[in-house]
């Protein structure tokens, strides 16, 4: 495990296991809720299958982002990984890459399940879903692909930003008296998160103001595609910026804590 691919393989295995646990728990929750509704409402509960699945997707994605953010930060501050004879840059990139692949794996499994849900809806003659599936255009497919790309990049921005906040808090608390006490850490987190969100929102507001000087509206699929391309480009810039800062802090200031 002394090279990029060896570290990536180890990280990938651990993160895949985490995603599988999340999927298993979500599947159990869906089955339990479905049978409860079936017992209370009878076969009319089949109409709520798509709604139940969409709700589970939102919860699973939120939980996965939170859990993977925690895993990311622990990897970068763990002596088990930082002492491996590999550069901090490669460790950071491997960490982000494997987290992204784990998320893609989660999305693929959810897509397969979504296909099965649609099939069930069609079988029980849920006509509006059949009509929706028959009216999909090439622009709709492109918009869906671009939306997935934007979601993936935005998720990486969130991970990188959370890691940066952790690093800044660790750096600042190291210079403060009683900086490792929980109350002091809590105050530092509040200040750093508040300033970070203010700076991020201020920069994004000015960027979108520069792109859309007259008005910002999305009335057509083409306008949606254009907006998603711009958003994806902005997300790539944020990822590059956060990554450079995180790698610099790893090399210069951040010590292992476990």
Highest-pLDDT range among 51-60, 148-157, 187-196: 187-196
pLDDT tier for residue 87 given thresholds of 50, 70 and 90: confident
Query: Are the C-beta atoms of residues 94 and 7 closer than 8 Å to each other?
Result: yes
Cα–Cα distance for residue pair 9/146, rounded to 1 Å: 28
- Under 8 Å CB-to-CB from 83, ≥6 apart: which residues? 256
pLDDT tier for residue 136 given thresholds of 50, 70 and 90: low
pLDDT at 75: 86
Tokens at residue 246, please?
Answer: 């995180």
Cα–Cα distance for residue pair 212/206, rounded to 1 Å: 10
Query: Are the C-beta atoms of residues 208 and 234 closer than 8 Å to each other?
Result: no
From the CB of residue 145, how many other CB atoms can be counted at a distance below 10 Å?
A: 12
Whether pLDDT at 256 is above 80: no
Considering only residues 7 and 35, tell me which one the structure prediction assigns the higher pLDDT: 7
Tokens at residue 136, please?
Answer: 């999909």
Can you give the pTM of this predicted structure?
A: 0.78
pLDDT at 10: 86
Whether pLDDT at 237 is above 90: yes
Angle value at C-alpha 205, between 203 and 63, nearest 5 degrees: 80
């Amino acid at each position: 495990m002394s090279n990029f691919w060896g570290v990536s393989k180890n990280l990938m295995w651990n993160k895949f296991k985490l995603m599988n646990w999340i999927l298993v728990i979500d599947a159990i929750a869906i089955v339990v809720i479905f049978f409860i509704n079936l017992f209370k409402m009878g076969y009319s509960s089949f109409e709520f299958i798509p709604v139940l699945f969409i709700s589970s997707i939102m919860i699973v994605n939120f939980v996965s982002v939170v859990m993977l953010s925690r895993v990311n930060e622990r990897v970068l501050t763990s002596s088990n990984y930082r002492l491996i004879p590999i550069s901090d840059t490669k460790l950071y990139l491997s960490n982000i890459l494997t987290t992204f692949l784990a998320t893609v794996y989660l999305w693929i499994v959810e897509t397969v399940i979504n296909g099965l849900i649609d099939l069930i809806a069609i079988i029980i003659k849920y006509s509006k879903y059949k009509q929706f599936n028959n009216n999909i255009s090439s622009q709709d497919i492109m918009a869906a692909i671009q939306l997935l790309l934007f979601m993936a990049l935005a998720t990486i921005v969130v991970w990188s930003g959370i890691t940066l906040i952790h690093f800044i808090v660790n750096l600042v608390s190291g210079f403060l008296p009683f900086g490792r006490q929980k109350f002091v850490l809590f105050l530092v987190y509040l200040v750093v998160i508040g300033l970070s969100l203010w700076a991020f929102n201020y920069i994004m507001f000015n960027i979108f103001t520069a792109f859309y000087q007259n008005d910002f509206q999305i009335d057509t699929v083409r306008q949606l595609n254009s907006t998603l391309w711009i958003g994806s480009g902005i997300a790539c810039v944020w990822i590059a910026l956060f990554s450079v800062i995180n790698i610099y802090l790893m090399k210069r200031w951040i010590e292992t804590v476990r």
